[in-house]
Structure 1
Amino acid sequence: MTHGFTLRDLHAMAAAACRADRSLASDAHTRYDVAWSAIATALSEADEPPARAELVRVGWQAIYNEVREMRHMFGHRDKDGTNEVASSPRFRQYWTLPPAYPEDGLIERLALPQILARLTDAERAAVVALAVHDDYQSAADALGIKYSALTARIATARQRFRMHWYAPETAPPVKGTDRRVGSRTQQLRTHCRNGHELSGDNVYRRPNPKPGRRGERVCRVCESERSKARWVRKKEAAA
């Protein structure tokens, strides 16, 4: 083995991880194999000799994650170990319950390209530029037009789109303002406070209860680490 640990040590730590796991949600052999693999991986990837307690923690956390993934795959209800397979409402909805109105999704997919075709070339270019750049000023610069010209095209495109989308009924009034940035004088952050890049799959927006307002951008890495820390504190408090 590495860092002074032997196979006997690895076996002892995997067994200790099994004893530390309180879920007992799978058979003993599976829990042992999961813990053994996680500890062996942590040892092989460590630059410095890790503490034995830390390796045991890695083992029982791996057991917990494995159990959680298996429960999710088989549709167990979260936070309740007594429920049976396919007890989660979302699981049953996905696999057994047909949508109440399946035609809605089909109608929307057919109507969207038909209504977009009703826009003028200038309006359609403005909509595409705004979708690509996600910022009014950047979209205007990309098209080589003034900011006011872009907002005017977006306004007429929105009005025309809503007119056809709700036809033959009258479209309801638009509530709120479409704001793509928090401030024109302050650039959007490119990294979170912990240095993680806010782009691609590492960023998502929380829902904003105010109409027309975009939610706060959240770093997925930081959110995942906070969730793990909360779970560890809860596990230690219950021990």
Structure 2
Amino acid sequence: MTYQLTLTVPGQPPVHRTVTGTTPVDLAQAVHHHARGLLGAQVDVHLDGLAGTVHRGTACVGEFTLDPIKETAGTPGPGRDDGIRWGWTLAELDDVVRRAVTRTHQYRACDADERYATGWHAAVELLYTALDPPSERDLYCAAWRAADYLTTRTAEERGVARSRGDTYTGRMDLPKWHAYWETVTRHTAGPEEPVVERLALTQIWPRLHPRYQAALHALAVHENYYAAADALGLKHCTFYAQVRHARNAFLALWWEGETPRRGWRDRRATTEPTQLHSISAHVRKRRRAGVAA
């Protein structure tokens, strides 16, 4: 039979739960697990008919009543035929899980439906595998921990480290994640870009003025504006102007019929030849300077 449990604790509003039982022992166990979940400590239930008291040691800490719930013919009573154990109903379990999965700010970092589903399955699993009636706190903690673990794992899959670092070593850069996603499974570019560039060069180059061709060719060979200008016998300012006009003409043909992008800056115009080194060269230079010091 199904009963409406009303549990009253001094200083707190009454708590209503639905319990089921056919014998006084079943009812006492159902009341006990709700009382323990509410009070959070070892308690004893004294049942006298459809009423009773809750004791902690020798002190009375609460009272309760059980009111029979009339069931409509052909309709199963809540908590009895809906597949929930230990007197729990779907509505009560849903309330516990929803409060658990929204307990911390982490619920914003993961899909809400996934967190709820994870917490729900954890609570149901505990409810059906427990040898003793689990308290409300037990179900609450099971749903909360499962949902937070899901959020943490989801963040790690996206490259966000845990607060304690990767594998509890204190590292926050997730080296294993980067080793997999940035090397083995990195997206590689297709052959389209180099093919398009080569075809475009062969089509645009003959359409450039010979003066522009000479300026670009000299700059490509000498890799330096001053040396290229001297090779063509031009003043530096004149050579700069020819290169600028040549690039503008080239880009006009390249972006023909499209919206042109923003141009780039050629560092060879302002950087001394002795400074055009790779990063490795700069590292070696710093090491030699440190040893000399």
Same-fold call, TM cutoff 0.5: no
Q: Whose strand proportion is higher, 1 or 2?
A: 2
Max radius of gyration: which structure? 2
